[in-house]
Amino acid sequence: MAKTKKIVTYRKPKNFNIGTLIFTLIFLYLALCVFKYLGRDKIQFYEVVEGSIVNDKTYTGLILREETVKQAEQSGYVNYYVREGKKAAAGSRIYSLDETGELEHYLEESQEAGQAFTDENLALLKKKLASLCLSYDDSEFSSVYDEKYSLDASVVELVNFNALDQLDSELETKGIHFQQIYTDQAGIISYAIDSYEGMEPSAVTEDSFKKENYKKSVGQAGKLIEAGTPVYKMITSENWSILFPLTEEDKAAYADKDRLQIKFTDDNLTLSGAYSQITGADGGAYGKLDFERFMVQFISDRFAEFEVVSEAEEGLKIPAASVTTKDFFTIPVEFAASGGDESSARTGFYKEVYSESGEASVVFTPAEIYGSTDEYYYIETSEDGAFKNGDYIVKQDSSERYQIGATAPLEGVYNINKGYAVFKKIEKLSGNGEYFTIAKGTDYGLSVYDHIVLDASMVTEGMIIYE
């Protein structure tokens, strides 16, 4: 009987491939690095440039004057004798009231007869039209109607002035009777009337500047008015004021100012006015600018758009976000010394050190200076620094000692020219909330074309920066 052969399956031994493991670990490490790089906040830098900051913030100002509103003494059709913005002496004829309307009909006939405008009349109308074109704003279209009424009134008034100055006797002959009204005081005449006449600066509130609530009436020649209706107003002084709301930033910026120069955006006029800060009826802070001329130019206006003209201070321009503060040890300047040879001399201090046996000695130790004043040097406070809290330094050629411990803050930015963050102090000249102008050429400070961290809150001293 033949023997049955038993077949045994050969199992191949498992070989451990160290190369595959190493490759896998390297791949995982690289993937983790890429993931961390993509996920981390990007530190951006800013290249320091020379420049200046001009404050171009626009304000809406409220104009106040010494105004007195005059009411009609009786009902009738009104006709004016003094143009808008013209000065009238006491006893001057200002307007007339005609109960029947016969005067109005006569004036219309005079216009149809070809009463001509003078060159002065035409120049006045052209100026009004030019002012309207310059100040037009789609968002305030309703103001166009006020200007239309004002222009209509001006045209009628100019015709009336030209006619009535020559035709008083003819009117009397025709039996046209009307009441003529004379002013009892000298002043400048305006026919634009609103609710702000007689308002005191202390009565201003936030609502006073809301143009959507503002209503103005402009007197129109030939219009029938009732007794007691405001018919014109008298401005008795060339002095006038502009009020405007102040933010906390504005209050700080103008705190030490007693005069401000402003530029009106509508007509490119620049004026300098006495500046003061007042408190309104609502407790808010408001700026007040007082002027002694050019009041007539704004006689028909209650609001004015303007910019405060600031002196542009030249220096280095840096972003506000790059500025931070840091505390430093303060050491009296009289303790400073110089060490090393002439080619590599460094500022430092003689520091007390102790041997293992407790024996004291004095060693010159160079210091990294971050800033200085007439009284103090500012040096690093970190644990890795050459000087620590509680260390003693000795004045050169003296036994006088000073214990390090007092600190004070410096304002500065992080310079990254060397690939890591280094604090550099700054001296601010001006700012607008987004940028600062800082002094250039300062000790321990920045230079043009330096690279600084755009957002100082993202780094710390000595941090390595990957641009």
Name the stretches of the chain with pLDDT < 50: 1, 113-114
Note the pLDDT of residue 371: 93
Q: Are 325 and 52 in contact (CB under 8 A)?
A: no
CA angle 238, 242, 246 (to 5 degrees): 160
**Cα–Cα distance list, 340 to 44, 366, 394, 456 (Å):** 38, 9, 18, 35
How confident is the model over 295-337, as pLDDT tens digits?
998 988 899 999 988 766 789 999 999 999 999 999 999 999 9
Note the pLDDT of residue 21: 78
- Its sign, for the CA torsion 146, 238, 225, 110, is negative
Number of residues that make up the chain: 467
Residue 301 in 3-state DSSP?
A: coil
Tokens of 20: 């595959």
Beta strands in 256-314, from DSSP E residues, in sequence order: 259-264, 270-279, 285-291, 303-309
Note the pLDDT of residue 178: 72
The pTM (predicted TM-score) of the whole model is 0.55
Per 3-state DSSP, what percentage of the chain is helix, strand, and coil (rounded to 5)?
Answer: 25, 35, 40
Burial class (CB in 10 A: 0-12, 13-18, 19+), 228: exposed
Expressed in angstroms, the distance from the first to the final Cα of the chain is: 87
Tokens of 353: 């050190």
Cross-strand bridge partners of residue 423 = 414
* Alpha carbon 326 to chain centroid, angstroms: 28
